[in-house]
Amino acid sequence: MFTFAEPARLGFSWTALRLSGPDARDFLHRLTTVDARRLEPGAPASWGFILTPTGRVRAAFHIACTGPEEFLFEYEAGAQGEWDRALAESVEQYTFAERQELSSPIEQECLWVFNELPAGIESSSVAVIAHGARDFGRPWWTVWGGAAELATLRAGQPGTAPATAGDLELWRTEAVRPWFSRELDFDVIPLEVGLLDGIAQGKGCYPGQEVIERILTQGAPPRRLALLRDDAGRARLAMVRKNEIQPGTSVRLADGFEGKVEKCAD
């Protein structure tokens, strides 16, 4: 059944930027971890990164192709706009003579839709981006449009309860997926938090590639994101060391939470 969430009302600063121009695709291909040459209009968005030379996250986003020469970055802007600045500064630093333009943040409002799309939504005037099922353990979409359009969409689904912030946190915790400014920060390598799906293998060089390839050759990073569950059934995500990765291993966190490893991020 269709379930929706209004990210702005739940405390999220979800935003989007467009990169467009005849050189945008090649630029993204050489700068990011995404195989931009394979991105096609209408295909689901994927995670992507701009990395430092040491393989750590410099900028993170979901990226979708929205036209032959147009790409959409979607991401959490951050409490102080830190993810906004990271992406804009990275694009600016690596742009030389490329014919491309990075837009200002999209002014439209956003609705998150889970499980299935309402009938007829894709033929309406709103923009719909698919995100797959990994982040929340169920399919989800972002829907961009005017406030009136989104209000009409919500009103046309009687009996559908909106998802709460607690629902979203539970879903991603059970799916062992990180979130911006929580488990995902500027000090992690994407492989540590289970975001291998944001790294295209065999696509050619990009900043930080040597570190990523070395970790993949070794089999796994020295620490991983894991789901911990205590005796009361409460669940937490936490980074665990290599000797703690096995399911059933007891882990005590700095804040006093003590639980056992239930599963680790893929």
Helices within 46-187 (DSSP H only): 82-94, 147-155, 165-174
**Structural domains of the chain in order of their starting residue, each with its CATH number:** 3-172 (3.30.1360.120), 222-266 (no CATH)
pLDDT, tens digit only, all 266 positions of the chain:
789 999 999 999 999 999 999 999 999 999 999 999 999 999 999 999 999 999 999 999 999 999 999 999 999 999 999 999 999 999 999 999 999 999 998 889 999 999 998 877 766 788 999 999 999 999 999 999 998 888 887 777 776 778 999 999 999 999 999 999 999 999 999 999 999 999 998 888 999 999 999 999 988 899 999 999 999 999 999 999 988 989 999 999 999 999 999 999 98
Hey, what amino acid is at 223?
R
CA separation for the pair 34, 50 (Å, rounded) = 9
| Helix 24-31 with 82-94: angle, nearest 10 deg | 110
Other beta carbons within 10 angstroms of residue 233's beta carbon come to 7
Give yes or no for a contact between 145 and 118, defined as CB atoms under 8 angstroms apart: no
pLDDT tens digits, residue range 184-230?
A: 999 999 999 999 999 998 888 999 999 999 999 988 899 999 999 99
Residue 157 sits at the vertex; the CA angle it makes with 106 and 168, to the nearest 5 degrees, is 60
Q: Which residues of 57-87 are buried (b: 16+ CB within 10 A; e: fewer)?
A: bbbbbbbbbbeeebbbbbbbbeeeeebbebb
Phi/psi for 200 (5° steps) reads -80, 125
Q: Which residue do the tokens 């209004």 mark?
A: 6
Tell me the sheet residues that pair with 60.
49
Supply the pTM of this predicted model: 0.94
Alpha-carbon torsion angle 41, 26, 195, 53, nearest 10: -170
